[in-house]
Chains A and B, each alone.
Chain A
């Protein structure tokens, strides 16, 4: 093949065939992420950050005349009716203040539940025993309108933070050997900035209720909320 044009044409065919036959797999683009040894430190780090950054949702101060607790099965229509306009307040985390109020969050409740279920079942789950500190933080975040039943701190674990729901405070409990996840959030924030969603096939139920300025969400495999009685 002496003709330069023929040689060029053959070179182009060679190059094209090489590109076709030596295409790197898509999995190569995430190789470093998959191989990085960071996951070994994930849980301790998560717990450290969570316990340092998260606030708590219980009040120890009992009211003379406790506010009535509203209980309702979560109604997607309720939140669908409310258009986000602004976030008058956000949750306890510093990072949450940087969230764009024009972009409502849609936390993946199933992912959140699975993560917290794993945490609840691990040996690293820590009991919520620092009542004094928790009370102070709760007062600062949610107001002094909710109190916690005696012994609740022995039934619940946390507080935790989760990237799935960065403006909220999260606790876990166990009932009939099944994990329940409790999420505390400002009622106003929940209304205007958070869209709750749960896959129908998840096998979980979502219950919401509020006490004072506090909105509580329970994600549970049970057909009724199990930790409601702890909030008074």
Chain B
């Protein structure tokens, strides 16, 4: 169905674009962090997405969902970053993760109560998730996005977004329980 109310070429002014971007910045940062599995590079991704989208702001229909439109740029930047990493990679996996797997104790249930250890195990579990489920979970937990909003950001059916959130959470629980068994 054709989009109604669209003004061809209306786009956004630079100021309008900046204002909308800033309003969505935390959600976009979380999307980037979720896809990457690493918060340290999420701001760089947001910067690149900003610059790419700013160039194309005249193509944006103001009547549509800006956050979802920006989500495409974030996903593209992350995909490009992954391709670059794949070309650079020389190790089969992050050495830290491999060491951690080797060091996992056979039976130390008390470790679940050590906050630092809990966080590290949680992060390891998070890295083991697929990037889309991970992003769905973070957007739900950290930014309290609705399933419809998550679906729009990741271009998924709403039911799939919901499924990813629940399965990701269940996988994390299982990982934490497994790691202390």
Interface residues of A (CB under 8 A from B): 1, 7, 10-11, 13-15, 17-25, 27-29, 31-33, 35-38
Check A31/B46 contact, CB under 8 A, given A22-B39, A24-B26, A38-B14.
Answer: yes
Which of B14, B126, B169 sits near A37, CB closer than 8 Å? B14
For the complex formed, measure the closest distance between the CB of A8 and the CB atoms of chain B, giving whole angstroms.
11
Contact between chains at A1 and B43 (CB < 8 Å): no
For the complex formed, measure the closest distance between the CB of A26 and the CB atoms of chain B, giving whole angstroms.
11
Contact between chains at B122 and A32 (CB < 8 Å): no
* Cα distance, A31 to B24, chains bound together (Å): 11
Interface of A is mostly: helix
Pairs A-B, 6 closest by C-beta atoms: A32-B18, A32-B22, A32-B21, A24-B29, A36-B18, A17-B119
B22-47 at interface with A (beta carbon < 8 Å): 22, 25-26, 29-30, 33, 39, 42-43, 46-47
Contact between chains at B21 and A21 (CB < 8 Å): no
Nearest residue, chain B, Cβ from A14 = B172
Contact between chains at A10 and B142 (CB < 8 Å): no
Across-interface contacts of B169 in A (CB, < 8 A): 11, 14
Check A1/B177 contact, CB under 8 A, given A22-B142, A27-B43, A37-B54.
Answer: yes
Contact between chains at B46 and A22 (CB < 8 Å): no
13 interchain pairs, CB-CB under 8 A: A10-B173, A11-B169, A14-B169, A15-B141, A17-B122, A18-B137, A19-B141, A28-B25, A28-B46, A31-B21, A31-B25, A31-B43, A36-B54
Contact between chains at B118 and A13 (CB < 8 Å): yes
Contact between chains at A28 and B177 (CB < 8 Å): no
Which of B33, B50, B176 sits near A32, CB closer than 8 Å? B50
* Cα distance, A31 to B26, chains bound together (Å): 10
Which of A11, A20, A22, A36 sits near B14, CB closer than 8 Å? A36
Across-interface contacts of A38 in B (CB, < 8 A): 14
For the complex formed, measure the closest distance between the CB of A134 and the CB atoms of chain B, giving whole angstroms.
33
B123 contacts the other chain (CB 8 A): yes
Interface of B is mostly: helix
B100-123 at interface with A (beta carbon < 8 Å): 115, 118-119, 122-123
Nearest residue, chain A, Cβ from B173 = A10
Nearest residue, chain A, Cβ from B47 = A35
Which of B19, B29, B142, B173 sits near A18, CB closer than 8 Å? B142
Across-interface contacts of A28 in B (CB, < 8 A): 25-26, 29, 43, 46
* Cα distance, A1 to B169, chains bound together (Å): 14
Nearest residue, chain A, Cβ from B40 = A25
User: Which of B18, B51, B118 gathers most chain A CB within 10 Å?
Assistant: B18
B111-145 at interface with A (beta carbon < 8 Å): 115, 118-119, 122-123, 126, 137-138, 141-142
Across-interface contacts of A7 in B (CB, < 8 A): 173
* Cα distance, A212 to B103, chains bound together (Å): 84
For the complex formed, measure the closest distance between the CB of B86 and the CB atoms of chain A, giving whole angstroms.
24
Nearest residue, chain A, Cβ from B39 = A22
Across-interface contacts of A18 in B (CB, < 8 A): 122, 126, 137-138, 141-142
Across-interface contacts of B173 in A (CB, < 8 A): 1, 7, 10-11, 14
Nearest residue, chain A, Cβ from B26 = A24
Contact between chains at B39 and A21 (CB < 8 Å): yes
Across-interface contacts of B122 in A (CB, < 8 A): 14, 17-18, 21
Across-interface contacts of B118 in A (CB, < 8 A): 13, 17
For the complex formed, measure the closest distance between the CB of A28 and the CB atoms of chain B, giving whole angstroms.
5
